[in-house]
């Protein structure tokens, strides 16, 4: 692997560590925003309190914060209380690093690769958060949407700005319409507003032509996973399988593949 790919891998490791922070803290920040503010409550955000062991609450030192390396050095246990460290931390770091290296290999060392790597990182964080908490925070979906529009306007990606705008509009409107009709008919909420915003963000990156295959792929994948969990009696108690991770996975797939060519290969439409 070339030096440039190793550099991309290293940046991905650092951002993978930040993804772990987002997954742990951002949902708690969202839920806290709905509670009455208290002047005595300690500050809690992405910066404070400092990183600490969730079991013994001892603040971590610099040598404990090195992505993957610290986990190996500590043999998967806290350096203070020896409580096991979850495998999610190094796995997320390695997957994010691999994604950055793959983007650098596929698009080269340029702004295009940077844009797609940032999109992939955001989608990965959103998928983990939604799967664990059924939340898709605006703090991630909205920046992804605006970054997609900016990348299109600056021609860092090949999608024309007009298509990026219409992709965002139709992405939000499509799921909002379906969810509204479902709620009117059944009286139940079938989909959260975060899903609308996530599809709008993906539309800004992929354009309106990608929305049909994206939703179909996400729906089919979600149905297969949901039925598998039900068959294995591992479906959540509320019977709800988050849709966000499947939207994100389908969007990542179509970011790699050309949406129009993919639809042609499947025989759905010809452009």
List, for residues 130-179, the tens digit of each pLDDT value.
Answer: 999 999 999 999 999 999 999 999 999 999 999 999 999 999 999 899 88
Please report, for residues 19, 141, 211, 212, 271, the alpha-carbon distance to residue 200 in angstroms, rounded to integers and kept in the order given. 22, 9, 9, 13, 22
- Distance of alpha carbon 31 from alpha carbon 261, whole angstroms: 42
pLDDT tens-digit series, residues 89-135: 999 999 999 999 999 999 999 999 999 999 999 999 999 999 999 99
pTM: 0.91
pLDDT confidence tier of residue 237, bands split at 50, 70 and 90: low
Which stretch of DSSP H or E encloses residue 210? none
**For a pLDDT cut of 70, what percent of the chain falls above it?**
92
pLDDT confidence tier of residue 239, bands split at 50, 70 and 90: low
Q: In whole numbers, what is the pLDDT of the chain averaged over residues?
A: 89
Instruction: Name the maximum alpha-carbon separation found in the chain.
Output: 61
In this prediction, residues 230-239 reach a mean pLDDT of 74
Most confident of the ranges 1-10, 15-24, 184-193: 15-24
Residues β-bridged to residue 52: 59
Of 223, 248, 30, give the one whose Cα is nearest residue 126. Answer: 248
270 pLDDT more than 60? no
Classify residue 36 by its DSSP letter.
P
- Distance of alpha carbon 111 from alpha carbon 134, whole angstroms: 32
pLDDT tens-digit series, residues 38-81: 777 788 888 888 888 888 989 988 888 999 999 999 999 998 99
What is the reported pLDDT for 271?
A: 40
214 pLDDT more than 90? yes
Classify residue 62 by its DSSP letter.
G
37-46, 81-90, 197-206: least confident range: 37-46
């Amino acid at each position: 692997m070339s030096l440039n790919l190793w550099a991309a891998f290293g940046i991905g490791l650092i951002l993978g560590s930040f993804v772990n922070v987002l997954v742990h803290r951002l949902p708690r920040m969202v839920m806290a925003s709905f509670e009455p503010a208290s002047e005595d409550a300690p500050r809690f955000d992405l910066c404070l309190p400092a990183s600490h062991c969730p079991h013994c609450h001892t603040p971590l030192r610099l040598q404990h914060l090195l992505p993957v390396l610290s986990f190996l050095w500590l043999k998967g246990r806290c350096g203070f209380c020896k409580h096991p460290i979850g495998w999610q931390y190094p796995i997320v770091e390695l997957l994010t690093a691999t994604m950055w290296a793959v983007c650098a290999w596929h698009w080269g060392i340029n702004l295009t690769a940077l844009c797609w790597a940032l999109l992939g990182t955001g989608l990965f964080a959103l998928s983990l958060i939604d799967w664990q908490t059924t939340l898709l925070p605006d703090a991630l979906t909205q920046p992804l949407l605006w970054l997609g529009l900016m990348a299109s306007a600056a021609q860092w990606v090949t999608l024309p700005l007009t298509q990026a705008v219409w992709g965002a509009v139709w992405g939000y409107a499509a799921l909002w319409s379906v969810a509204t009709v479902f709620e009117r008919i059944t009286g139940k909420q079938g989909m959260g507003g975060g899903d609308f915003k996530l599809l709008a963000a993906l539309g800004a990156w992929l354009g309106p032509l990608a929305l049909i295959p994206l939703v179909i792929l996400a729906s089919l994948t979600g149905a297969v996973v949901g039925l598998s969990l039900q068959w294995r009696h591992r479906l959540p108690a509320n019977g709800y399988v988050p849709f966000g991770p499947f939207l994100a996975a389908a969007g990542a797939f179509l970011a790699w593949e050309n949406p129009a060519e993919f639809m042609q290969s499947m025989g759905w439409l010809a452009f």
